[in-house]
Structure 1
Amino acid sequence: MANIRITKQFSFETGHALYGYDGKCKNVHGHSYKLSVTVIGEPISDTSNVKYGMVIDFGDLKKIVKEDIVDVFDHATVFNKNTPHVELAKELQDRGHHVILVDYQPTSEMMIIDFASKIKKRLPGNIKLHSLKLQETDTSFAEWHASDN
């Protein structure tokens, strides 16, 4: 049997600020992120399996990514917890806002590394994460490929 790659796309809205940055992105702002998740594996060859012919059910992949990424990051504001932004985060949380504190600068590059780690932990053993693409704007995106890591 052959290895096949399948991709599912997701979208979510997230705010962030880059502490110490020398441009506009030091200010709190948001993006309409688009995340493409590509996995690789062999289609199920057991004809008695209800998922016969699938690498992974798109619904199963959706469940993983929604639970660990989309439902967590959608309409949240992300700050590096090791910066003074933690004070702003506390103020926002006290006012009922959804804030995520991470131990990295919340750039697309660092977020995609975090996402790859989370998704890889949840995939069945016979399915491998092949690549991720996190699009921040229409013209800007970060990519993660297993072959590079």
Structure 2
Amino acid sequence: MAKIRVTKQFGFEMSHALSNYDGLCRNIHGHSYKLQITLIGEPLNEEGDPKDGMVIDFSILKKLVKKYIVEPFDHSLMINNLSAHEKLIELGEMYERQHLVNFQPTTENMVIFIAEKLKKLLPEHLELFSVRLYETTNSFAEWFASDNL
């Protein structure tokens, strides 16, 4: 049977700041992220099965990514836990949607984080092929499984 890649795109709004960065991105700022998740697998070949011919039902992929990536990240702030986040915590509810991560929250590191999270959640018969995250309309980072064997 042929291996097929399927891709679903998602969007979310998130802010971040890059600790110790030597440019404007050291300040808290936001992006309209576009996330593309590509899976690879064989289409189901079981006549009469409602999922016949599908690698994965796009609605299942949508629910998975929305629950574990999009909903937690949307309208939140991601900062490195080594930064001065204590000052943000003092501001209270205005910053209740914080992600204190143990890495610099660049788009490059975010695709690694997303890939590692999703790989653990996928059904056994599917593989994560790639993760592409657009920070702006013309700037993105990609993670490919084949580059990370």
**Common fold by TM > 0.5:** yes
Equivalence for 2:87: 88
Distance 2:93 2:135 in 1: 27
Secondary structure, aligned partner of 2:10: strand
**TM-score relative to the length of structure 2:** 0.95
Identical columns (%):
54
Residues 70-149 of structure 1 mapped to structure 2, 5 A cutoff: 70-84=70-84, 86-92=85-91, 94-97=92-95, 98-149=97-148
For residue 106 of structure 1, what is the amino acid of its counterpart? P
Q: Is the 8 A contact 1:79 1:89 kept in 2?
A: no
Distance 2:62 2:99 in 1: 22
Secondary structure, aligned partner of 1:136: strand
Runs of 5+ unmatched residues, structure 2:
none
Quote the offset at 1:91 in angstroms. Answer: 2.6
**TM-score relative to the length of structure 1:** 0.95
- 1:30 is aligned to 2:46: no
Q: Which moved further from structure 2: 44-53 or 111-120?
A: 44-53
Q: Is the 8 A contact 1:89 1:99 kept in 2?
A: no
Could you list the structure 1 runs, at least 4 aligned residues long, displaced by more than 4 angstroms after superposition: none
Equivalence for 1:53: 53
Residues 12-27 of structure 1 mapped to structure 2, 5 A cutoff: 12-27=12-27
Quote the offset at 1:23 in angstroms. Answer: 0.2
Quote the offset at 1:106 in angstroms. Answer: 0.4
Quote the offset at 1:89 in angstroms. Answer: 3.1
Question: Could you report, residue by residue, the CA deviation over 1:63-84 in whole angstroms, capped at 9, with x for unpaired residues?
Answer: 1110111000000011111222
What is the root-mean-square deviation of aligned Cα atoms in Å? 1.0
Runs of 5+ unmatched residues, structure 1:
none
